[in-house]
Amino acid sequence: MTRTLLIDTDGGSDDVVALIMALRSPAVRVAAITVIAGNVPVEQATRNVLYTVELSGAQTPVYAGAAKPLLRELMTAEWFHGKDGLGDHGYAPASRKTESAHAVDAIIQTVQVNPGIEIVTLGPLTNLALAIGKEPRIIKAIGRCIVMGGAPCCEGNVTPAAEFNIWVDPEAAKMVFRAGLAIEMVGWHLCRGTAALNTQDIERILALGTPLAEFVVRCNSVAAEAYRLQTGEVGISLPDPISMAIALRPELCTSSSMHYVDVETASDLTRGMSVVDRLNVAGDERNRDLWAWALKTKVKTHICWTIDVAGWKTALYAALA
Ligand code: BDR
Ligand code: CA
């Protein structure tokens, strides 16, 4: 049976690759794409999503969402993705338009008519937090929630402690991680090193000779350079497509475990840190008060620790052929 997906995205150069993978997959139907401010302002993110849907030949409805985090000013990542989020190659505006409904209402409505739906979040969690705040009954109707976000080994890409999607809107992330959704966390640690596309991988994609293959490499030109400057690693790091590959084929996550997860919102130094109770010490006397919510609700998150690197790249090539 075809599975149904809803994708929430902030329209960056790796997001659009993930969208292509889902839109081209015969295993899923993408019921809606909702857009959130993150890598770029929500208007630009929406333009990028519409462009990608059109390039993929899909008819998926697109809904624009929140323009800023729940409580904070928006901090974008043009330095990583380019001013337009897609490497500044001047892609023409799509002829498609967004639907009139707000993304938050679209999430609620799409979940209500598709119980068991799988949600994949590729940006800050603002839209999803607003949706579950407005209509908490959707929590039980969401089958899986794959979250690209977090740095469960505590090596962030924005600060030493935090990964971008969680750091941008930590209050939203805290709400979502505590809500009782079946969250599968795909952290930034899975998207580096051999998991990034190396020179041979990029050549292999370009050799496919399709417009989608060319787009995927070209729109990540600024991101590749930013990644090299940040980490010293050469290649294209693709957090959102890796998350999508796991959403589409859960067996690509090769080791995982369930833990309480909370998000730091009070500190400046560790803002947006995804704090994972990996050794299950939340119940110890010295921790009990801080983790009281978790000990009471028993809400745990499925953390993916390792992935099948060859398998994820094969899934990407298949989507672009
Ligand atoms: C995440 O942040 C954004 O820059 C990417 O699109 C990805 O969702 C990686 O930290
Ligand atoms: Ca993203």
Give, for 242, the enclosing helix (H) or strand (E).
helix 239-248
Q: Quick one: pLDDT band at residue 224, thresholds 50, 70, 90?
A: very high
pLDDT at 152: 94
Ligand 1, atom nearest to 13 Cα: 6
Ligand 1, atom nearest to 191 Cα: 9
Give the HSE-up count for residue 199: Cα atoms under 13 Å, Cβ half-sphere: 3
Beta bridge partners of 258: 302
CA of 123 to the centre of ligand 1 (A): 6
pLDDT at 293: 98
CA of 157 to the centre of ligand 1 (A): 9
- 126 Cβ partners below 8 Å, 6+ apart? 36, 37, 65, 66, 68, 69, 70, 169, 172
250 has a pLDDT exceeding 90:
yes
Q: What is the pLDDT of residues 33-49, one digit of tens each?
A: 999 999 999 999 999 99
50 has a pLDDT exceeding 80:
yes
Q: Which residues line ligand 1 (CB under 6 A)?
A: 12, 14-15, 39, 77, 80, 122-123, 148, 157, 163-165, 188, 239-240
- 181 Cβ partners below 8 Å, 6+ apart? 119, 132, 139, 142, 145
CA of 13 to the centre of ligand 2 (A): 8
What is the average pLDDT across 53-64?
98
Q: Quick one: pLDDT band at residue 249, thresholds 50, 70, 90?
A: very high
What is d(CA 169, CA 75) in angstroms, rounded to the nearest whole number? 9
- Kindly list the structural domains of the chain, giving each domain's residue range(s) and its CATH number in brackets, ordered by start: 3-195+238-309 (3.90.245.10)
Q: What is the mean pLDDT of the chain?
A: 97
What is the average pLDDT across 152-180?
96
What is the average pLDDT across 269-297?
97
Q: What is the pLDDT of residues 184-211, one digit of tens each?
A: 999 999 999 999 999 999 999 999 999 9
What is d(CA 256, CA 136) in angstroms, rounded to the nearest whole number? 27
Report the chain's terminal Cα–Cα distance, integer Å.
24
What is the average pLDDT across 23-37?
98
Ligand 1, atom nearest to 164 Cα: 10
pLDDT at 1: 75
CA of 282 to the centre of ligand 1 (A): 29
Q: What is the pLDDT of residues 300-312, one digit of tens each?
A: 999 999 999 999 9
What is the average pLDDT across 141-149?
98
Q: What is the pLDDT of residues 79-126, one digit of tens each?
A: 999 999 999 999 999 999 999 999 999 999 999 999 999 999 999 999
pTM above 0.95, yes or no: yes
